[in-house]
Copies of this chain bind each other. A is one copy, B any other.
Amino acid sequence: MDNANPEITAASSTAGISIAAVERDTGLGKDTLRVWERRYGFPQPLRDACGERLYPAEQVEHLRLIKRLIDQGQRPGKLLRKPLAALAEQLAGSPPTIGADDTADWVVALLKNRDVDRLRTEFAQRLARDGLERFVIETVPALNRRIGDGWMRGEIEIFEEHLYTELIQNQLRASIYALGSRGSRPHVLLTTVKDEEHLLGLLMVEALLAANGAWCISLGAQTPVTDIIGAVRCTTTDIVALSFSGAYPWRKARDTLLELRAALPETTGLWAGGAALTGRRRVIPGIRIIDNLHAIEPALADWHAMRRATQNSGHCTEL
């Protein structure tokens, strides 16, 4: 008669779920949920026998919708005052196709068909046909745009985006691994800083660097600044390369870069790229902003030129 596990009953009955569960499901913090309730009157959860919040499924759904719109850049204040219907409408209609590029539609079609094997094959074939450089500079960005657009329009599920990212990353990793350049200069240390988890951009850079003879060490994502400093101090790193996605606040990126610049030896190069930095013409002293993928090759060439110059002035008088 009695159910031994209260959680199961709670989940199966229509009463609602706890605030911790809502945090898990929506990604909105407990504090945020409470303060919204106080300020805007939504959500308005039921209460269980001992006064704890119980969120009905429909409110959770509503919250999830709001979260999605916030991620698109909308302000919470506006969204929380609107009725559910207006939100749904807004999500459907908003972006009228930014990069109208239907040459990448095949990737969406294959994703919708869950044709993972075919996706892998397609990626591999295009890579082989166009070469790594063109694949990274042209194909992957086009696909990224198409996927991002599809997600905004609700055409693509989140997990499909996950899957796409995973497959592309694997393809890039395999290529980099196959290149296996050893010991050649420059030695580049790649990573993203704390709170920045997007690896794809970093992998694209790594692929281009490796294709041009640089020797890369990737520390993966979210390396704290102090650890980066520590890593450089005890390795033979020539250049530190960081990636900042569009989600990363520009000011924070700049501060981080300046801090790093101050802490690193002057001989160590510091390159930074990613959507958070491109488009800003602001030059940060001592830091090379990589505006786009085409900028990597010249940057490498510059490094080699500078190195030759330094060596010459050091060892010979002139050559």
Whether B227 contacts A8 by the Cβ 8 Å rule is no
Contacts of A110 in B (CB 8 A): none
Give the contacts of A160-210 with B (CB-CB under 8 A).
Answer: 162-163, 165-166, 169-170, 173-174, 177, 180, 182-183, 191, 193-194, 197
Segment among A84-92, A97-105, A251-259, A307-315 that sits at the interface with chain B: A251-259
Contacts of A41 in B (CB 8 A): none
Tell me how far the C-beta of A35 lies from the nearest C-beta in chain B, rounded to whole angstroms. Answer: 15
Question: Is the CB of A317 closer than 8 A to any CB of chain B?
Answer: no
Name the contact of A258 in the complex, choosing from B11, B157, B194 (C-beta under 8 A). Answer: B11
Whether A170 contacts B177 by the Cβ 8 Å rule is yes
Tell me how far the C-beta of A52 lies from the nearest C-beta in chain B, rounded to whole angstroms. Answer: 14
Contacts of A117 in B (CB 8 A): 182-183
Bound CA–CA A54/B15 (angstroms): 40
Whether B166 contacts A220 by the Cβ 8 Å rule is yes
Question: Is the CB of A224 closer than 8 A to any CB of chain B?
Answer: yes
Question: Is the CB of A305 closer than 8 A to any CB of chain B?
Answer: no
Whether A220 contacts B259 by the Cβ 8 Å rule is no
Whether A162 contacts B220 by the Cβ 8 Å rule is yes
Whether B27 contacts A159 by the Cβ 8 Å rule is no
What 0/1 readout, one digit per residue, does chain A (214-236) give for beta carbons within 8 Å of chain B?
00011110111111101100111
Bound CA–CA A227/B228 (angstroms): 33
Bound CA–CA A21/B254 (angstroms): 12
Bound CA–CA A222/B182 (angstroms): 33
Contacts of A222 in B (CB 8 A): 197
Please tell me how many copies of the chain the complex holds.
Answer: 2
With contact pairs A162-B220, A166-B218, A174-B173 given, residues A262 and B8 touching in the complex (Cβ less than 8 Å): yes
Name the contact of A163 in the complex, choosing from B8, B219, B224 (C-beta under 8 A). Answer: B219
* A contact patch SS: helix
Bound CA–CA A255/B23 (angstroms): 12
Question: Is the CB of A306 closer than 8 A to any CB of chain B?
Answer: no
Whether A24 contacts B194 by the Cβ 8 Å rule is yes
Question: Is the CB of A138 closer than 8 A to any CB of chain B?
Answer: no
Question: Is the CB of A20 closer than 8 A to any CB of chain B?
Answer: yes
Residue ID in chain B nearest A165 by CB atoms: B220
Bound CA–CA A11/B254 (angstroms): 14
Contacts of A7 in B (CB 8 A): 252, 255, 258-259
Output the residue of A21, A24, A114 with the most chain B CB within 10 A.
Answer: A24
Tell me how far the C-beta of A57 lies from the nearest C-beta in chain B, rounded to whole angstroms. Answer: 10
With contact pairs A173-B170, A226-B25 given, residues A8 and B159 touching in the complex (Cβ less than 8 Å): no
Q: List 23 A-B contacts (CB under 8 A).
A: A5-B255, A7-B252, A7-B255, A8-B258, A11-B258, A11-B259, A12-B259, A21-B255, A21-B259, A24-B255, A25-B224, A25-B225, A27-B224, A157-B231, A162-B191, A162-B219, A162-B227, A162-B231, A166-B218, A166-B219, A169-B220, A170-B173, A197-B197
Counting from the closest, the 7 A-B pairs by CB-CB distance are A159-B231, A162-B219, A159-B227, A158-B227, A166-B220, A11-B262, A8-B259
